[in-house]
Structure formats: structure tokens, C-alpha cells
Structure 1
Amino acid sequence: MPSGKTHTSLNLFALPFLLFLLISYGFTSWGFLLWFCGGFIAGTYFLSPDLDTRSTPYRAWGPLRVLWYPYQVIMPHRSPLTHMPIIGDVLRVLYFVCVSIPIVHVLDTYVYDVNVKEILMRYKSELVIIFFGIVTASTLHIMVDIMNTKRKRLWKKRRK
């Protein structure tokens, strides 16, 4: 399995090519491209499929990484629940939302006087684009894992 630094480097290397592909397919809105980049970077640094281990993305959460400890206990490493495009991303985002609800509720009620639900509804199309970026980043991560595993198996067969 490649290291976290390798995954991060490959994702960041691929981002300009992905943006070129999006632009060539007609996604030329700067807003779309910026939201996609934000989601892609969040998917690379914070919502990686490797959150099921004590990985670089796990440590990137800083003191908030304790929120991900139950996720690590529940999810076996490289299971289809964590390392499958879309399904793993949906589960990670849903987990994060469920864990964040009490925190957001306290902040919404006692610290800020805003309606979080209203804000989420106002920016639902942007949230979908961010999710698309997260899915793209994790799909690249998973593809690299698969290719590296196949490479190792081929190498083992050749050495025998």
C-alpha cells in the first residue's frame, strides 16, 4: 500500500489534469471548478479512505481526530465500506455529519444565531459539487491502492 504522502502527492499531481478534463467537457464555471477543488482537497487531506487507520488524514484533524476514533473501531481497514467509491464516501460524510450534529447544534443555539438548515439548503448545489470532488479524490486513492496491490502480486509471482 502506498504511503499517505504518496497518495497526497499523486492526488495533487492529478488535480490539474482533472480540471483540464472538466473544462474540456464543458464545466467552465469558475464557481464549479473552485467548489470541486475544495471538495477534492478535503477528500485528499481530511476525508480519505484511510481514515479507518491512524493515517495522515486522521492526524490532519488535529484535536478533532477523536471524532474519528469510533469510525476506526467500527470500520475494518480496506473493507468495501471504506475503500469503495461513492459508498465509502457516503458513509464517511454521513458519519461526519452525525458526529457533528451535536456540536453544530450547540454552536447554532448558544454561540451563533444562524439557521444551519437554511444555510445548507441555500448551498445544496455547491455541497453536491464538493461531494463530487471528495468522491473523485477517494476514487483516485482507491485506484492507486488497487494498482499497487496488483503490482505487488505480479512481482511475487515473477520472483517464484
Structure 2
Amino acid sequence: MYENNNVGNVTYMTNYINHIIINFALVLILLFFYQQNTFLSNTQLGIFIITYFIGTVFLTPDIDTRSEPSRRCGVLFKPYTIMSHHRGQTHKWYGSFFIILYILIILSLIIIIFDPSYLFPFYNTLLTYKNEIVYAVIGIFLSNFFHIVTDFLS
């Protein structure tokens, strides 16, 4: 991908594969430190790793463009792509929370369309598993944060 800037008109941005490689290298470093300080349960660690992977491969800050992650997420993220612009809110440190909020809204709409009686049990389930959800949010947040840092440094 290319982006215009003030120095030499064109700069190369980190491509999708490099983002994946860098994010996975960084999570390996995090897991090494995890081995040193075992403060997470295996369930919490598993949730973190899975959501970190999802955040790296699918729910990246580049989901707001015509990119590989947006193609992988398909039609569900088409409205999100239309509503946002590249290097907008998703490329801020808090951008992950917009993606997570969007997912919650889409899930709520799907539940309302198919069976509204499941909406409150869905939210109660989220509250029941709030500790696990915290690690899921951290996984997505960290993968997106490392993506943004990589973009900034490239």
C-alpha cells in the first residue's frame, strides 16, 4: 500500500503479511513473559490468544478499507467500512472499542431480528462471563495497538 506524505511524496506502509508477522512475534514475547509470571488461568490465556489472533487477522484497524481483513469479515462489516475512513477512528489507540461496540450492535440486531426474547439473556451471559470478556477485549486491543504502532513506525 502507498500513502502520500510530505517527504518524497510516497512512503511504503507495512503490508498485511508484515503486520501479521510482527503481531505474532510480539505475542510470542508476551507469552514468554507469561511463562515467567503465571497470573492468568489457562482459560483466560486461551481466550486472550484466540482474540489476539482474531484481532490480528480479522478485526485489524485496516478493516475500514478494502483490505484482506474486510474481505474476510464479509458483508457484516460492510456498513462499518462505509461509515469510517482509513486512518480514522480505528487507527487511534481506542479504535478497538469501536470495532467491539460495532460487533455488539450487530449481534444485538441479529438477535432482535430472529428472536428478540434472547436479547436480555445474551446481555446477562456477557455479564456472567465478564472476566473472560476482559481478556477477550485485551486480546483485540493489544493486537490493534501493535498494528497501529507498526504503522506509526513504518
- Report the 3-state secondary structure (helix = DSSP H, G, I; strand = E; otherwise coil) of the residue aligned with 1:130: helix
CA distance in 2, matches of 1:76, 1:96: 18
Aligned residue for 2:79? 70
- Pick one of 94, 100, 103 that aligns with 2:107: 100
One-letter amino acid of the counterpart of residue 5, structure 1 = I
CA distance in 1, matches of 2:148, 2:111: 31
Aligned residues: 142
Q: For structure 1, which runs of at least 5 residues remain unmatched after alignment?
A: 149-160
CA distance in 1, matches of 2:29, 2:58: 21
One-letter amino acid of the counterpart of residue 105, structure 1 = I
Q: Report the CA distance between 1:115 and its aligned residue.
A: 2.7
One-letter amino acid of the counterpart of residue 84, structure 1 = K
Trace 1:19-58 onto structure 2 (pairs within 5 A): 19-58=31-70
CA distance in 2, matches of 1:108, 1:27: 39
- Pick one of 127, 130, 145 that aligns with 1:139: 145
The alignment's TM-score, normalised by the length of structure 1, stands at 0.78
Aligned residue for 1:151? none
- Pick one of 82, 91, 102 that aligns with 2:90: 82
One-letter amino acid of the counterpart of residue 54, structure 1 = R
Name segments (4+ residues, structure 1) moved above 6 Å: none
CA distance in 2, matches of 1:107, 1:116: 13
Q: For structure 2, which runs of at least 5 residues remain unmatched after alignment?
A: 1-12
One-letter amino acid of the counterpart of residue 101, structure 1 = S
- Pick one of 25, 46, 49 that aligns with 1:13: 25
8 A Cα contact 1:58 1:68, kept in partner = yes
Taking only aligned residues, the RMSD between alpha carbons, in angstroms, comes to 2.2
Q: Report the CA distance between 1:119 and its aligned residue.
A: 1.8
CA distance in 2, matches of 1:22, 1:106: 42
Q: Compared with structure 1, are the counterparts of its residues 139 and 59 closer, same or farther at alpha carbon in structure 2 (3 Å cutoff)? A: same
Q: Report the CA distance between 1:118 and its aligned residue.
A: 2.6
CA distance in 2, matches of 1:107, 1:70: 20
The alignment's TM-score, normalised by the length of structure 2, stands at 0.81
Q: Report the CA distance between 1:25 and its aligned residue.
A: 4.1
